[in-house]
Amino acid sequence: MSSSDRLIPFEALRDLAERMFRAVGTPPDEAALVADTLACADARGMHSHGVLRLPVYIEKIQGGGFKPGRKGKLLRETESIAFIDAEDGLGQVAIDRAIDLASLKAQRTGVGAVAVTNSNHYGEGAYYVRKPVDKGLFVLLTSNGAPNTPVWGGTGPRMTGPLPLTVGVPVKGRAPFLLDIAMGMLARGKILYAAEKGLPVPLGTGLDADGEPTTDPRKILDGGRILPIGGYKGFGLTMVLEILCGVLTGGAVGTGLRELYNAPELAQKIGHFALVIDPAAFTGRDLFLANMAAYLDMIKSSDRMPGVDEIIIAGEPEEQRFRERLATGIPLETKVIAAMEELASKLGIADRLPEVV
């Protein structure tokens, strides 16, 4: 926690966000869902996908780019797959429905796959995979977005990204394995967060508008581009994810997708893809859960390099942080709090966020 942060109670943050969404015409159930995703992201330490995004979500709703109240149209369905047109509704609503439907199909047939087209930004993927994981299911989730990364060897933003990849796996007797990463050296939201706090980003994160490496997040955001992880390998992985989200759904890809920022009247036309597997269809759920626990025990018992206190498994730091912050409060940058309270006031909500004392 930095000197410019304030500790905000989780419930107060979620409540104010929910009332702000309701103030711009979002149905109560959708307002509650989106507000919860934002507050949970901040509680997990993923501030790039927390209430930092709230002003642009409100702007998109007011401008007509995001259309609350649209639950999505089922275009195609079989026992194991479904295809949903989100009809430019809220991305959180679309992917929450997709995950629930894929989970139900997996429990019936062993595998459930649901693709979504004509959707919008859905926030942090980790939020959605917890429900099926808590039921003992394996989940893979991804989405595309506005073009922010160059093709390997190319000069301008041509590919969407950095695309997110979220994988959740249940484990017996411990928190799930939960990998939630972007295919860029940093997610765009984390670059936005660094710019908001006036912090540099690591060299190699991205290029400025002239194609030169920079540590200034503002230069990356202002006409620059984010570099993929792993060079050409990350480029290839990004293409795989976009094929699932865009080509497979017949939706927009690359430069055909629209930006989240600076275009309040435009829907993004994003695609999502969710795959859920029930281990009961393979080794059996109990054996799978036990095998996962044994596997992670083996990983964590590895000999450590000098200076390394513990082998960290994907999802562990965020899980610990989440539990702690529910009890102690969420540290938020004062600029983010001020922007949220100013917007709330404009929406006719006079409340201010209380601090933990």
- Asked if 207 and 240 sit in the same domain, the reply is no
Q: What pLDDT is recorded for position 104?
A: 98
Parallel, antiparallel, or unpaired for β 330-333 and 270-277?
unpaired
Within a domain: 117:
yes
Pair (32, 152) in one structural domain: no
Q: Are residues 139 and 53 in the same domain?
A: no
| Owning domain of residue 48 | 1-63+316-357
Please tell me whether residues 179 and 212 are part of one structural domain: no
What is the CATH classification number for the domain harbouring 267? 3.30.1370.60
> Which of 55, 41, 120, 112 has the alpha carbon at shortest distance from 86?
120
Q: Are residues 146 and 195 in the same domain?
A: no
Residue 339 covered by a domain: yes
Domain CATH for 216: 3.30.60.50
pTM: 0.91
Residue 161 sits in the same domain as residue 176:
yes
Q: Is 336 contained in some domain? A: yes
pLDDT at position 158 is 60
Q: Per-residue pLDDT tens, the chain, 357 aa: give them.
A: 666 789 999 999 999 999 999 999 999 999 999 999 999 999 999 998 999 999 999 999 999 999 999 999 999 999 999 999 999 999 999 999 999 999 999 999 999 999 999 999 999 999 999 999 999 999 999 999 877 777 777 666 666 667 899 999 999 999 999 999 988 888 777 888 888 788 999 998 988 888 889 999 999 888 888 888 888 888 899 899 999 999 999 998 888 888 898 889 999 999 999 999 999 999 999 999 999 999 999 999 999 999 999 999 999 999 999 999 999 999 999 999 999 999 999 999 998 999 997
| Same domain membership, residue 142 and residue 288 | yes
One domain, residues 114 and 222: no
Same domain, 263 and 163: yes
**Do 95 and 190 fall into the same domain?**
no
Domain assignment present for residue 306? The answer is no
Considering the domain architecture, whether residues 240 and 164 belong to the same structural domain is answered as yes
Number of domains forming the structure of the chain? 3
